[in-house]
Structure 1
Amino acid sequence: MKILNNKISCFFLLGLVFHLSFGCSKKEKEEIQMEESNVDFVDQSFQAAKPLYSNLLKTTSGNFTDYPHAINPDGTIKYLQIDEWTGGFWPGILWYMYEYTEDDQWKQAALEWTHSLEPNQFNTSHHDIGFMMFCSYGNALRFEKKYEYDQILIESAKSLVKRYSPVVGSIQSWNKRKSKGDINTWEYPVIMDNMMNLELLFYATEITGDSSFYEVAIQHATQTMKNHIRDDFSTYHVVNYDPKNGDVLHQQTLQGFSDNSTWARGQAWGIYGFTTMYRATQDNQFLETAVGLADFFLEHPKLPEDMIPIWDFNVGEDGYHPDWDFDPTKFEEQPRDASAAAITASALLELSTYVDDEQKKKYFDAAEKMLKSLSSEAYLNSGDANPYFLLKHSTGNLPSGNEVDVPLIYADYYFLEALLRYKKMKDNLD
């Protein structure tokens, strides 16, 4: 996704610097010096990333068909292919490494891996083309202004809107399938994650002037607001629609604890997605939704002190289906999801630039605390746990027993994005 542009506002931080410079005590000055020294966690994290991603580049050298995704239980790399949803995160990570280091070796690798995804512009098999193509080519355009990159993203947007139904008012996430445990048939499933693909559509309108992409994004987000978000701003993961008339058939989950629970990463996708919607439209209903989702996350009584959530906010409560693949109650301590924290931290930094001063500080401080936690030994991989990925302790799909307490490529991607956003905001104080 795009790093924040000139919309970044650090008004509350600038005011704080003014106060500390001209009216603070010796103790306050010492505290702010300690605070400023904490910015080093950004550099420390990028320094830790260098040998890991160098190893990953060597391991994947010349293989532009298998995209690194996670670590298998035996310590080997788990790969997904070009048509799977996480392919764009690896080139996106390489672009972030180049942005921070300005080292051409990362740029060259980013170009090669980005170009490998070119055939994906015609992928209409699922909704994740925004993840795949905007995290790669979208980042590439920030450094390489090429006409062909724009054309690839336009074609990608065309592929995405082929999955849109004006009857339903949403982009179909997955094809017709059985729900988890074969409880229902999902005729037209739409998942919260789909909010992350809408930025691609806004970019297509920006480049082409064709407002139809924009209108699809608006309709999809509006339906998501209506049917995925509960009154308390918790969220459903999956909404299943009747494709014939657009009626809601089921509100369920695939990766969360239960149909009535709030899956942590789903909540994170919502915070990020509706923040992006406000940036693109300046429509206050999207800002209010992003704020509500963020407040639910940050104020939840089950959010741990270090602000790295467990994989679902309602785990252990009623509603778990016994015929699902995996029993979460077997854990003495429920797994965390560092990816949900990384996504949320990145979103909160941007959200902090759109709200009043009190909220601004709340969201910035929360993001900072999340990033400091992720940069600590508890979550940052020094190379001992695995030689390839930066963050530990993410959870992909616990109810299926898949990717539980492992490194995940998208956790690294949003962590680096958040670190860069944070650094830019802090640098604006100088």
Structure 2
Amino acid sequence: MHLAQLLRRPVVGGDGEVVGRLADVIVRLRGRDYPLVTGLVARVGGREVFLPAEQVADLDGEKITLASPRVDLRHFERREGEVLLRADVLGHRVIDVADAELVRAYDIALEQRLDQWVLTCLDTRRPPRWRGLRRGRAAQPDWRDWKSFEPLIGHARSARVRGPFARLGRLKPADLADLLEDANRTESHEILQTVHADPELEADVFEELEPESQTRLLGERSDAEIAQVLGRMRADDAADAINDLPQSRRQPVLDALPAGQRTKVLTLMGFNPSSAGGLMALDVLSMVGSSTVAEALRSAGEARALQSQALTSVYVVGEERRLLGVVTLVELLQADPAARLDEVADRDPVRAGPDTDVEDVALLMTDYNLLTVPVVDDEDRILGVITVDDVLETVIPDDWRRREPAPHPAHHVEEPGPERAPHDRPPGS
């Protein structure tokens, strides 16, 4: 049965008398199982009343037949965990998890299994009365499994029964950021509520947002709430986010940051945001030249506080952290474990000063095929490292970012696996 066909059908009592018309269908979300129809909402004499599923004798005819002529005429009130298909889903946008985009539900399919009705599919193709004809034929419905989607119900008590991650936990932070940028205020609020259950994922998502969206969404939070998010972000991204806040909010947010993160952010805010100093990450894996290859590999494996993009190389330093050389992880893996770092390192590494323009850094990376570039001061003391993803984010033109994404592969939805593990990234890394 399709919901669009069911709505406004007459509801007939056991004695054959029409008691009202169908106004909505109520389901209960059940995690991995299909939502279960638990009742109907009927409009009877100007008021909406509840009809339990057990009272419905026949749903798939031209009229909806009740097993009894008796109807409880008390006004319907939604209970915790209940979802109204017409009010909450039909005509509203849902998240297409496979394609990581917001699509609209134009119809809903209900199917009887054993003695119960369940919600099984959504139609996300605009019907012909809105879309028009294509090559002389009406556009065909696009019925897809309910498990391909994540609903945005907009009802707090219903959201709680869906669990902390549901199907959104299968999306990458960049996908979630794209969804937030396309979402309206209500939709973005619900997506953020879900993401907020995993603070590390929340920080990753905010790192991926465009500056305008990031500032808008952070601006709706208190200073303490902003600091909680920025405290888990990479220090360079946190510094950019604070610079984009209104002047009156910057200092309160800085004061609310954890001490270690605040020190890093203040250091980075002292540089031009579009310079090497403004882009660099402050945490660098550096070791003295007398360390062995085996020790360097072990240190890289244990450096969980460093962002993975900055762990492509180990920097050899001398007194006062003066840069003496660099060796990539691939070179370490292929070297004798007992060899010293100063024996296998490049003793004349490419480097940049903190005031170097990002375009010049991009040229260095291109010319020398580098994934990272160390940033040093006038005395060659290492200050930080720039990663290629940060450079690309800065130099790619804005209009390129707004291009239509490449088409996704054909839909393939697997049954959800075990609940996703929280991100294993320490705060401020």
Tell me the TM-score normalised to structure 1 length.
Answer: 0.31
Pick the structure with more strand per residue. Answer: 2
Larger Rg: 1 or 2? 2
Tell me the TM-score normalised to structure 2 length.
Answer: 0.31
Answer 1 or 2: higher relative contact order, Cα 8 Å, separation at least 6: 1
Pick the structure with more helix per residue. Answer: 1
